């Protein structure tokens, strides 16, 4: 895309480099193994919830892939200096923020789908809800990217502001739908749905805040400090909004499975694979 | 993090380099294939134990990921010298001890969860136990890292000592809970629970001892010898405390599955997958 070039941070201290580097590695490990855990555990929820669990796993898997890329890219952009304690100067390789936006373009719609899947809506209601939310997510991310790459504060604020309109719409709709859904949920699940609702508002707000760090300007936020904080903010928010969020979805699916089918009672797990076997066991 | 730089070992002999390098490779092979074995075998235990087995697999998988990183990092930090017999001089790439701490931050809580899962506690008891242990594990690891990176013996001892308080708390609680749990276990399982209890105390103590090697000082422990011993200590302790430990958890789950449900009797294995087969066996 022929956007104005972003402001590039010229150099990172050895300790700032290590902090970002280790956080990226933590995200890879968290996402990859949450994906594996969810895939390996899908049979511990009733069949009707398995799609939500597999989608949660896919979200974490896509994020793990992008963080592998981001990790390698970060190493190439800021190679080691003369000694282990030297600053890491920028190389000729650009630090590609687009990985994050491509990741979000794929994972945010999937996160919306997995959340709607545990809301106990009718099929028609789910469809009409996603019909509004998924395009809004594409608009939100599509408008955010030029802001991330803008070379001026004005550009960052303009694109960021437009993106925020879609963001507010999505968070508002999801919040009210989750609130409406709470009353239709079994009592055991209500606290978890409330936690999802809170996570959605608190965690998602971490993204626009991290986006804004460079706008705060000054020697800290305008430079290396703002870069490190932004990467840290996106990384931690991604772990919570994808991996931790996916595990809460899994919890909800486990509890509802147990309530709806005794074969999935908590502490048990897998469904009987065939009806006669469960009949035999029950006998 | 703006910690004082750790003491970097400037050079390793070819044989010391090989020892550490081969140990790291051994850890990767042990962890990766224990993870695959456990994932592939989860259906050989009764449903209620599968979560513990999948978590054991995830622990080994996370460790395999980190040892891949440690292995590559070690090669980059100490590249080959002029000839095959030359010493390996430190390069400009730092040997990143943080990989271990990020690994432990993720795996120690999971190890506690998998252990509590085979203790036959009620759901409430398990939760309240983990509610104490998991934060203690985070504190233990969070305080240990600055000690590992400290440039002075005083710093290493101070952070290490604080970390040890949390360590002693966890080991004490787990030891007494495992001891309490023995009496509620079937006779067939009791020796294995006792082995877990012993493993917990003996293996976990390897970590603070390895941590202390540089403190012993002198030309051996203060330099290359201490570095090699510390890496060897952490590596072997990790294999035993994660892979071997996970296999004992699996054994316990297998035996208990067989005692609770004839479909999982030892020597059999997978549950019958179709009704006629199980009907035939039941007849």
pLDDT by residue (tens digit) across B125-167?
A: 899 999 999 999 999 999 999 988 888 888 889 999 999 999 9
Q: Is residue A257 within 8 Å of A49, Cβ to Cβ?
A: yes
CB–CB contact B57 A80 (8 Å) = no
Is A10 buried (19+), middle (13-18) or exposed (0-12) by CB count in 10 A? exposed
Measure in Å the smallest separation between the Cα of A80 and chain B Cα atoms: 6
pLDDT by residue (tens digit) across B32-74?
A: 999 999 999 999 999 989 999 999 999 999 999 999 999 999 9
**DSSP-derived secondary structure letter, A244:** I
CA distance A104 to A109: 8
Measure in Å the smallest separation between the Cα of A113 and chain B Cα atoms: 25
pTM of the model: 0.89
pLDDT > 70 fraction of chain A, expressed in percent and rounded:
91
The chain A residues in contact with chain B (CB within 8 A) are: 14-15, 18-19, 21-22, 25-26, 28-30, 32-33, 36-37, 40-41, 44, 80-86, 266-270, 273-277, 279-281
Read off the pLDDT band of A263 (50, 70, 90): confident
Pick from A29, A83, A273: which is nearest to B65 by CB?
A29
pLDDT > 90 fraction of chain B, expressed in percent and rounded:
62
The residue count of chain B comes to: 283
The residue count of chain A comes to: 283
Q: Quote the tokens at residue B60.
A: 């080994």
Chain A contacts of B146, Cβ < 8 Å?
Answer: none
CA distance B78 to B88: 5
- Torsion, Cα of B116, B122, B128, B129 (10° steps): -30
Chain A contacts of B44, Cβ < 8 Å?
Answer: none
Closest CA to A252 of A197, A204, A206: A197
CB–CB contact B98 A29 (8 Å) = no
- C-alpha dist (Å) from residue B260 to A36, B25, B182: 28, 39, 17
Pick from B2, B42, B276: which is nearest to A40 by CB?
B42
Pick from B54, B90, B278: which is nearest to A280 by CB?
B278
* DSSP alpha helix (H) spans, chain A: 14-41, 47-77, 98-117, 123-149, 153-182, 190-216, 218-221, 224-238, 245-260, 275-282
Could you give the angle at which helices B98-117 and B245-260 cross, rounded to 10 degrees?
20
pLDDT by residue (tens digit) across B207-243?
A: 888 888 888 877 777 789 889 999 999 999 999 999 9
Q: Is the dihedral of CA B174, B175, B179, B185 positive or negative?
A: positive
Chain B contacts of A281, Cβ < 8 Å?
Answer: 261, 263
CA distance A233 to A188: 32
Q: Which residues contact B190 (CB under 8 A, 6 or more apart)?
A: B182
Q: What is the ipTM of this complex?
A: 0.89
pLDDT of residue B261 exceeding 90, the answer is: no
Chain A contacts of B122, Cβ < 8 Å?
Answer: none
pLDDT by residue (tens digit) across A194-245?
A: 888 888 888 888 888 888 887 787 777 778 888 999 999 999 999 999 999 9
């Amino acid at each position: 895309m022929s956007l104005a070039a972003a402001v590039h941070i010229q150099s990172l201290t050895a300790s700032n480099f290590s902090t970002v580097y280790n956080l990226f590695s933590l995200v890879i490990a968290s996402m990859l193994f949450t994906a594996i855990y969810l895939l390996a555990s899908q049979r511990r929820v009733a069949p009707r919830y398995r799609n939500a669990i597999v989608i949660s796993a896919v979200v974490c898997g896509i994020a793990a892939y992008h963080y592998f890329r981001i990790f390698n890219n970060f190493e190439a952009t800021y190679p080691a200096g003369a000694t282990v304690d030297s600053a890491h100067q920028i190389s000729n390789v650009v630090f590609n923020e687009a990985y994050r936006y491509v990741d979000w373009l794929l994972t945010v719609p999937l996160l919306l789908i997995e959340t709607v899947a545990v809301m106990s809506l009718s099929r028609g209601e789910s469809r009409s809800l996603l019909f509004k939310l998924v395009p809004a997510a594409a608009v939100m991310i599509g408008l955010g990217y030029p802001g991330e790459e803008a070379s001026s504060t004005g550009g960052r604020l303009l694109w960021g502001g437009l993106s925020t309109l879609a963001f507010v719409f999505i968070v508002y709709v999801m919040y009210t739908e989750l609130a409406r859904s709470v009353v239709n949920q079994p009592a055991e699940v209500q606290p978890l749905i409330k936690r999802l609702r809170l996570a959605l508002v608190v965690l998602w707000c971490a993204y626009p805040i991290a986006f804004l760090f460079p706008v705060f300007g000054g020697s800290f936020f305008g430079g290396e400090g703002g870069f490190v904080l932004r990467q840290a903010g996106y990384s931690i928010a991604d772990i919570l909004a994808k991996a931790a969020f996916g595990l809460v979805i899994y919890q909800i699916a486990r509890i509802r499975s147990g309530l709806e089918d005794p074969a999935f009672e908590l502490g048990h797990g897998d469904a009987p694979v065939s009806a006669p076997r469960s009949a035999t066991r029950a006998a």
